[in-house]
Amino acid sequence: MSLGHPLVAGADEAGRGCLAGPIVAAAVCLDLLAIDGEGLAELAGLNDSKRLTPRRRAALVGVVMRRARQVVVISASARSIDADGLHATNIRIMREALAALSPEPGVALVDGFHLGDDAPAHRKVIKGDATSAAIAAASVIAKEARDRLMRGPAAALYPGYGFEGHVGYITAAHTDAVRQLGPCPLHRRSFRSSAYGDDLTLFDQRRRG
């Protein structure tokens, strides 16, 4: 209630730094007047999803789904990222996630980004997933939604890449799999990272070939 309105939303994303798979944004709206003491105690366990164990993060999905007024999840594919750019895609899906909340929250908080003047009214919060329950809830939902997609359908559709383990991030095993198998449709051809080294050349060669 210190923010001056009972409806408080948070938005965050997962998968921004991945070599493969979608980027996923979530917006979570909390009605502070509707959350009782038990709910507040449950939500107190929220934190930046990267700081939570997988088991704890999975359990918090249930907490958020029970206690939130509304949860919105939007994803963008690797092809969308390649076509429009990572940053533009990230901003777009977070903006769309916030815009889908109804009724519009009195306060909307976004982790680390300003979404532009055409977005719903919002505030950028640096390291918001560690300081705002609404943003932390969005962080958990986005991370779990993306990880479950990569570990389940993506891993089954494209075996051999190890998506069930690294969920699309760079690992030695993931790099070796791309060298041996070439990129699959889930790989982002526009990916740039010094950690990935000359495998970008492999992407370019296979695309030309």
User: What domain range includes position 87?
Assistant: 7-155
Residue 171 counted as domain residue:
no
CA angle at 90 for the pair 84 and 95, rounded to the nearest 5°: 110
Mean pLDDT for the stretch of residues 72-88: 97
- Kindly state the average pLDDT of the residues 168-183: 93
Percent of all residues in the chain with a pLDDT value above 90, rounded to a whole number: 75
Q: How far apart are CA 188 and CA 83, in angstroms?
A: 10
- Whether the pTM exceeds 0.85: the reply is yes
Is the model's pLDDT at 122 over the cut of 60? yes
Query: Given this model, what pLDDT does residue 51 score?
Result: 82
Q: How high is the mean pLDDT of the chain?
A: 89
Alpha carbons 45 and 60: distance in angstroms, whole number: 8
User: The CATH number of the domain where 111 resides is what?
Assistant: 3.30.420.10
**What is the total count of domains within the chain?**
1
In a domain, 2, yes or no: no
What pLDDT digit, counting tens, does each position of 44-66 carry?
Answer: 888 777 788 889 999 999 999 99
